[in-house]
Structure 1
Amino acid sequence: MLIIEDDGNIARLLREQLDFEGHESELAASEREALARLDRGFDLVILDLGLPDGNGFRVCREIRERGLAVPILVLTARQQTVDKVRALDLGADDYLTKPFDLQELLARVRARLRRGAGQAPAGPLRAGDLEVDSAGRRASVAGVEVHLTGRELALLELLMSRPGRVVSRDEFLDRVWPGVYVTPRSVDVHVGALRRKLERQPGAT
Structure 2
Amino acid sequence: MRILIVEDEINLADALTQILKKQNYSVDAVYDGQSGLDNALSGIYDLILLDIMLPEMDGITVLKKLRGEGVATSVILLTAKGDTSDKITGLDYGADDYVAKPFSTGELLARIRAVMRRKGELVPEDGMKYGDIELNTSSLKLTCKGKELKLILKESELMELLMTRKTSVTSKEQMIEKMWGFDSDVEHNNVEVYISFLRKKLVFLQSSVRINTIRGVGYVLEASD
Q: Same fold (TM over 0.5)?
A: yes
* Partner Cα separation in structure 2 for residue 35 and residue 67 of structure 1: 13
Give the alignment's Cα RMSD to 1 decimal: 1.5
For the pair 1:47 / 2:64, whether they are aligned, the reply is: no
Q: Counterparts in 2 of 1:40-119, with a 5 A limit?
A: 40=42, 41-77=44-80, 79-118=82-121
Distance 2:64 2:83 in 1: 19
Please list the CA deviations of residues 2-41 of structure 1 after superposition, one character each: whole Å capped at 9, or x if unmatched: 1000001110111111111111011110011112111232
Aligned to 1:18: 20
Structure 2 length normalisation: TM-score?
0.50
TM-score normalised by L of structure 1 = 0.55
Q: Which residue identity lines up with residue 26 of structure 1 in the other structure? A: D
Instruction: Measure the CA separation in 2 of the matches of 1:66 and 1:35.
Output: 11
Question: Would you tell me which structure has more strand in proportion to its own residues?
Answer: 2
Indicate the SS of the match to 2:119. Answer: helix
Instruction: Provide the rounded CA distance (Å) in 2 between the counterparts of 1:102 and 1:82.
Output: 24
Cα deviation, 1:140-174, whole Å, max 9, x if unaligned, reads xxxxxxxxxxxxxxxxxxxxxxxxxxxxxxxxxxx
Provide the secondary structure at the position in 2 that maps to 1:33.
Answer: helix
Q: Are the counterparts in 1 of residues 81 and 102 from structure 2 also a CA contact under 8 Å?
A: no
Match of 2:7 among 1, 5, 8: 5
Q: Distance in 1 between matches of 2:118 and 2:97?
A: 12
Identify the range of structure 1 (79-88 vs 90-99) with the bigger mean alpha-carbon deviation. Answer: 79-88
Q: What is the CA–CA distance in structure 2 between the aligned matches of 1:27 and 1:95, rounded to whole Å?
A: 18
Q: In 1, distance between residues paired with 2:81 and 2:50?
A: 12
User: Partners of 1:78 and 1:34 in 2: how far apart?
Assistant: 22
Residue 54 of structure 1, CA deviation? 2.5
Matches of 1:118 and 1:60 in 2, distance apart?
A: 21
Which runs of 5 or more structure 1 residues have no equivalent in the other structure? Answer: 120-205
CA distance in 1, matches of 2:51, 2:83: 15
SS at match of 1:17: helix
User: 1:35 aligned to 22, 34, 37, which one?
Assistant: 37
Is the radius of gyration larger for structure 1 or structure 2?
Answer: 2
Shift of 1:51: 0.6
Q: Secondary structure at the match of 1:75?
A: strand
CA offset at residue 115 of structure 1? 2.4
Runs of 4+ with deviation above 3 angstroms? none
| Structure 1 SS opposite 2:63 | helix
Higher relative helix content: 1
> Could you tell me which amino acid in structure 2 is paired with residue 83 of structure 1?
D
Distance of 1:50 and 1:80 partners within structure 2 = 11
